[in-house]
């Protein structure tokens, strides 16, 4: 056979395989992967010849003088349908046993193997750290249950030391967990609250290329002066003092080199671990570990992008005796943040007589940001505060910022005002607006629990740390889950509590918060504000109010003359119609397939009938064809069943 004939035959074979794959996929009415469909058709094409050859031979020679008989054409139709049936069977079996996405493609497989090896090395490193600190049994789920406080404290200390040694991602994870009093015992919260990410600074030869790449030139050209010795260093970045050519003093925050690959790998591990725990444990599903991990990953990625921090500075309102540095916008990039330098000293150097006023200013500033402005500093620990030369506070490091929408701020304001009035009903209603409301919650019992909580804690001089702990216990006991944005509020308040105690030992956080509520929140409810709100609502309702009398008159007239009726449209949503149509389609295919199968069995079991071929009657020939048709219909239904759980997850009835 010459080369052109071979090429022509190869092209014809390829077209036949593609046609067979197209027909099989069209009959199943489900989109499969191209490689999977092509391989199924290739197998079917390979099996077609040994299936067709003996039957074609038994039909004898066919030509102009000897045309094929009608029964022979029926046999050929049966064989063609059987050949088409082969890739359909293969695709349906593959869909059931190996769903799409479970087996990666070649490029994905290479990347996956490379990623698995990288994660395995990191897993091994993390495991060694955990075993070193005595956490190995707990990783295997065999750790002993500790009921005594000393043992719990030792375990919490081991966890803190392991997270500290694990690196920046796990330090940040521990800092976030230290604010979740609703999830962890008090011993763990206290111990994890000691995590600090202060590390040795990166050497200047590693920092200089980052600055030159981000600023578009040598450091000496961008700045008139630049101090190579950092003012401070953390696990994410370090800060240097500098002076612009205009003479203005600035500080330059530089992202630590090589941090992105490590953090990305660790975040991938945290997400995979959270997904595994949520799918395999009841407590993981109740806590929503997957969402918590995604929220944590988003927060870490924002902290590693200094452009986000510069935008946060512009969004957060300080005021009230608290100032913050202003970024130099045209010099801020993803890895470099340049901002005006605040002149002062550490806040811990404040004189004792300054402490109470500084603490009040800081509390007033943060509560105003949370309850009124909606954008707040989420990490107000002493390292992010300065005592400025004029005696006021300076707020630093806006990498962690929380945001609250207006409805959530309004609910928090009502919660605080109700706490100030010691109104259990108002506190319960406001709390159920802040957190997702469970369907089976006992509101009366929750109201009594909150009433007892306020009777114990909402008085001057009470321990605010114990108050937060008891509040989280109530939230957890009644199955309430705290949204991430609200958790950020409690994280900021828990951090603020420690800072206020450092500034002013014995500071009455509860009393000052109640005073803030009386000064700033109650004053927002005045006759003028009520009048303004009522006016705005009335303007919004005016078009409806103008049409309301005519509509009432029409309804009354229709009722008077016996013409009053109501029209209800079922399945008005297009998604509902598609869903019901798909179900009916599937039921119809099932009925047709079952009917064809029953008819095929009856015909195959019927004796006699007109002869079609040597050993085959017409009834049997029709029965075989109906059997193949029934198999095709059943395979189509099975393909829809196996694919449906992934294709219709977004249906409103399933949400």
Please state, in angstroms and rounded to a whole number, the distance separating the CA atoms of residues 252 and 195: 25
**DSSP notation for 133-182:** TT-HHHHTT-PPPP-SHHHHHHHHHHHHHHHHHH-HHHHHHHHHHTT-TT
**Is residue 268 flagged as an active site residue?**
no
Contact 285, 278 (CB under 8 A): yes
DSSP letter string over 184-208?
A: S-HHHHHHHTT---B-PPPPHHHHH
Q: Which of 585, 584, 573 is closest to 653 using CA atoms?
A: 573
Rounded Cα distance between 528 and 24, Å, is 72
Q: Which CA distances in Å does 388 have to 323, 394, 518?
A: 9, 6, 29
* Calpha distance 252→225 (Å, rounded): 12
The conformation of residue 234, written as its DSSP 8-state character, comes to: B
Instruction: Give the gyration radius of the chain's Cα atoms.
Output: 36
CA 509 to chain centre: 34
Place of tokens 């108002």: 426
Measured CA distances, 637 to 12, 86, 181, 367, 651 (Å): 32, 16, 50, 59, 20
Task: Give the integer Cα–Cα distance in Å for 124 and 132.
Answer: 12
Selection from 467, 508, 506, 516 nearest residue 490 by Cα: 467
**What is the rounded CA–CA span in Å between residue 204 and residue 209?**
9
Three-class SS of residue 649?
coil
Strand order from edge to edge, sheet including 344-346: 322-323, 393-395, 385-388, 344-346
Marked catalytic residue, from 182, 266, 379, 397? 379
User: Cα(303)–Cα(307) distance, rounded to whole angstroms?
Assistant: 9
Residue 294 corresponds to which tokens in the numbers above?
Answer: 């995604």
Query: Which residues carry out catalysis?
Result: 379
């Amino acid at each position: 056979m010459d080369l052109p004939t071979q090429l022509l035959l190869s092209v014809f074979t390829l077209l036949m395989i593609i046609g067979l794959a197209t027909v099989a996929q069209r009959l199943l009415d489900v989109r499969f992967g191209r490689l999977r469909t092509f391989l199924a058709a290739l197998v079917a094409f390979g099996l077609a010849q040994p299936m067709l050859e003996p039957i074609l031979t038994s039909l004898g020679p066919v030509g102009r003088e000897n045309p094929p008989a009608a029964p022979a054409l029926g046999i050929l139709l049966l064989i063609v349908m059987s050949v088409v049936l082969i890739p359909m069977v293969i695709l349906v079996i593959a869909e059931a046993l190996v769903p799409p996405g479970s087996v990666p493609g070649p490029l994905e497989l290479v990347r996956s193997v490379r990623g698995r090896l990288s994660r395995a090395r990191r897993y091994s490193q993390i495991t060694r750290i955990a075993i070193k600190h005595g956490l190995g049994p707990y990783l295997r789920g065999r750790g002993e249950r500790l009921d005594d406080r000393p043992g719990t404290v030792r375990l919490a200390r081991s966890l803190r030391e392991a997270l500290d040694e694990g690196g920046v991602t796990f330090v940040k994870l521990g800092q976030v967990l230290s604010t979740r009093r609703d999830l962890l015992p008090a011993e763990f919260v206290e111990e994890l609250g000691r995590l600090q990410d202060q590390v040795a600074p990166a050497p200047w030869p590693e920092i200089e290329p980052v600055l030159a790449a981000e600023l578009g030139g040598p450091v000496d050209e961008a700045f008139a002066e630049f101090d190579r010795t950092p003012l401070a260093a953390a696990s994410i970045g370090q800060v240097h003092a500098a002076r612009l050519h205009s003479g203005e003093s600035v500080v330059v925050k530089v992202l630590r080199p090589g941090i992105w690959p490590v953090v990305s790998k660790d975040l991938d591990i945290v997400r995979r671990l959270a997904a595994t725990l949520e799918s395999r444990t009841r407590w993981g599903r109740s806590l929503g570990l997957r969402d918590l991990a995604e929220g944590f990953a988003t927060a870490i990625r924002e902290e590693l992008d200094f452009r986000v921090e510069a935008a946060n500075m512009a969004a957060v309102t300080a005021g009230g005796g608290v100032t913050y540095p202003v970024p130099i916008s045209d010099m801020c990039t993803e890895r470099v943040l340049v901002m005006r330098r605040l002149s002062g000293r550490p806040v811990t150097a404040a004189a004792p007589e300054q402490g109470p006023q500084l603490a009040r200013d800081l509390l007033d500033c943060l509560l105003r940001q949370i309850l009124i402005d909606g954008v707040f500093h989420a990490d107000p620990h002493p390292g992010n505060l300065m005592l400025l030369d004029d005696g006021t506070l300076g707020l630093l490091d806006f990498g962690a910022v929380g945001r609250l929408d207006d409805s959530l701020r309004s609910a928090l304001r009502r919660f605080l005002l109700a706490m100030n009035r010691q109104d259990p009903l108002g506190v319960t209603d406001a709390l159920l607006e802040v957190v997702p409301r469970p369907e089976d919650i006992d509101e009366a019992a929750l109201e009594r629990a909150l009433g007892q909580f306020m009777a114990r804690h909402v008085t001057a001089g009470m321990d605010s740390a114990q108050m937060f702990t008891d509040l989280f216990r109530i939230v957890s006991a009644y199955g309430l889950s705290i949204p991430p944005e609200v958790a950020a509020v409690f994280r900021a308040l828990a951090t603020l509590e420690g800072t206020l105690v450092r500034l002013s030992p014995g500071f009455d956080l509860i009393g000052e918060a109640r005073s803030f509520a009386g000064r700033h929140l109650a004053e927002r409810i005045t006759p003028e504000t009520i009048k303004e709100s009522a006016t705005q609502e009335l303007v919004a309702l005016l078009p409806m109010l103008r049409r309301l009398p005519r509509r009432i008159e029409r309804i009354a007239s229709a009722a008077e003359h016996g013409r009053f009726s109501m029209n209800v449209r079922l399945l008005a949503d297009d998604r509902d119609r598609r869903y019901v149509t798909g179900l009916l389609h599937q039921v119809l295919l099932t009925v047709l397939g079952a009917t064809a199968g029953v008819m095929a069995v009856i015909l195959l079991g019927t004796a006699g009938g007109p002869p079609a071929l040597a050993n085959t009657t017409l009834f049997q020939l029709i029965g075989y064809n109906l059997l193949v048709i029934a198999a095709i219909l059943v395979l189509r239904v099975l393909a829809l069943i196996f694919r449906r759980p992934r294709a219709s997850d977004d249906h409103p009835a399933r949400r």
